[in-house]
Amino acid sequence: MTCLTYLEPLTDGHCAFWAQMTLRGAAADPRVDQLRLVTGPEMAKRLEETVAATGLELEVLPPDQLRELTQPDLLKRGRAQWEAARDCLGTSGGQLFLPFFDHAIYGALLDRRPVPGQVSGIIFRPPNGHNYPAGLRRGLDTGRRWGSYLGAQRPALRKLFTLDERAPRSAVSRMAGLLTFLPDPSPDLSLLENRTPCPRLDGRRVLLLFGALAERKGIFVLLEALSHLSSEQRSRLALRFVGRVDNPDRESFAARLEAARAAYPEVAIELVDRFVSDSELAQEVVDCDVVLAPYQNHVGSSGVVFWAAAAGKPLIAQRTGLIGYQVEQHGLGEAVDTTDATALASAIEKAAPRKRNDTFLKAHSPEVFTQTILEGCFG
């Protein structure tokens, strides 16, 4: 009997979406005889329909263990996650998939005890120097990461995936077979179909920044960029922030928002400070003119890229890392220095319509994502 255990201690981001896709795909795969989900109570509730539809075995992690698997100390967290993976395999054997593996890699590196099965996972932050200046600190960090992937290699660690297109092509990865490219899956883009745009009565050009609203997402530099546009340019704009504001930034963002509204009364600055469903988000994207992703040197991928590409909306994003590489390589929008308010304002002024990139979207479909994981675990 071949068992696949899906271990997910996290709840943020795309965890539920990815679990739903992978578990449903695994349930339909003839190579999988037994399917298990080991997760916390919140994720178990989100995945109730998937559990019922697949008939998988559900194990809900107790609160004390869940705290260990998500604790702030990343090294201890990684060791706890690797130990949990080993314990799960001790009861079932077979294959285990732990989606976020950036911390567990250190558990695999340091804990050399036998594992009664094999573990696979995704490295979200491999070395990616795209458009970053070289330096000693970056060099040391790159060496540390590659060293940890190399040191963790053994039969118990079956496959390390990464959403980064560049890292698997690096010399060290190719020589040692370290990383396998896993196309970041696009969200449910069918939500964009047959939607009628709702034009604004004031005729303003809509700039949309959505998702978790935080300093790292560029909310402050975007407000600063308004000062680098003329009054006439601002009068034609509506700037929409859609999503829940991160608690650490809530007070300062409220103050900066109030100050910007007072300084630039000619621009419409609108905030929807709550969780927004995918259906609501789809309408926001259809209604906007420009999608903004002014991340402050984010190292991973972003679903914002796919929403913009699917809707055929111009995207303004950072020029560094995976996002910058994707935007430049696949012609998805303008990649600029989003830490520079002047450069961001210039990009906003020049943003022009773009066609939908179906080739990019097809290569990053949920089906490709799921099949790549299952082939890695069982192929």
DSSP readout, 222-238?
Answer: HHHHGGGS-HHHHHTEE
Q: Which residues contact 53 (CB under 8 A, 6 or more apart)?
A: 24, 27
What is the enclosing helix (H) or strand (E) of 195?
none
- How confident is residue 299, by pLDDT bands cut at 50, 70 and 90? confident
- pLDDT of the residue at 270: 98
- What does each C-alpha distance from 349 to 94, 232, 262, 336, 338 come to in angstroms? 55, 11, 22, 13, 14
**CA–CA separation, 291 and 308 (whole Å):** 6
In contact, 44 and 74? CB cutoff 8 Å: no
Q: Say which amino acid occupies 328.
A: E
366-378 and 15-27 helices, crossing angle to 10°: 60
Q: What is the mean pLDDT of residues 179-184?
A: 95
Report residue 43 as tokens: 């994720």
Nearest in space to 106 (alpha carbons), one of 132, 85, 130, 128: 85
- The burial of 330, by beta-carbon neighbours within 10 Å (0-12 exposed, 13-18 middle, 19 or more buried), is given as middle
The predicted model gives 125-146 an average pLDDT of 86
Residue 215 in this model has a pLDDT that exceeds 80: yes
Question: Do the Cβ atoms of 179 and 126 come closer than 8 Å?
Answer: yes
Q: Which two tokens stand for residue 185?
A: 């899956």
Residue 355 has pLDDT above 90, yes or no: no
* DSSP labels, 197-216: P---TT-PEEEEEESSB-GG
Residue 159 has pLDDT above 80, yes or no: yes
Domains of the chain: 3-185+364-378 (3.40.50), 189-362 (3.40.50.2000)
For 236-245, how does the pLDDT look when each residue is reduced to its tens digit (9 = 90+)? 999 999 999 9
Indicate the pLDDT class of residue 315, thresholds 50, 70 and 90: very high
pLDDT of residue 78: 97
pTM of the predicted model as reported, rounded to 2 decimal places: 0.86
For residue 1, pLDDT over 70 is answered with no
Dig out the tokens for 227 from the structure: 């000062």
Alpha carbons 187 and 301: distance in angstroms, whole number: 13
Q: How many other C-beta atoms lie within 10 A of the C-beta of residue 279?
A: 10
> Using one digit for the tens of pLDDT, what is the confidence trace for 324-348?
999 999 999 999 999 999 999 999 9
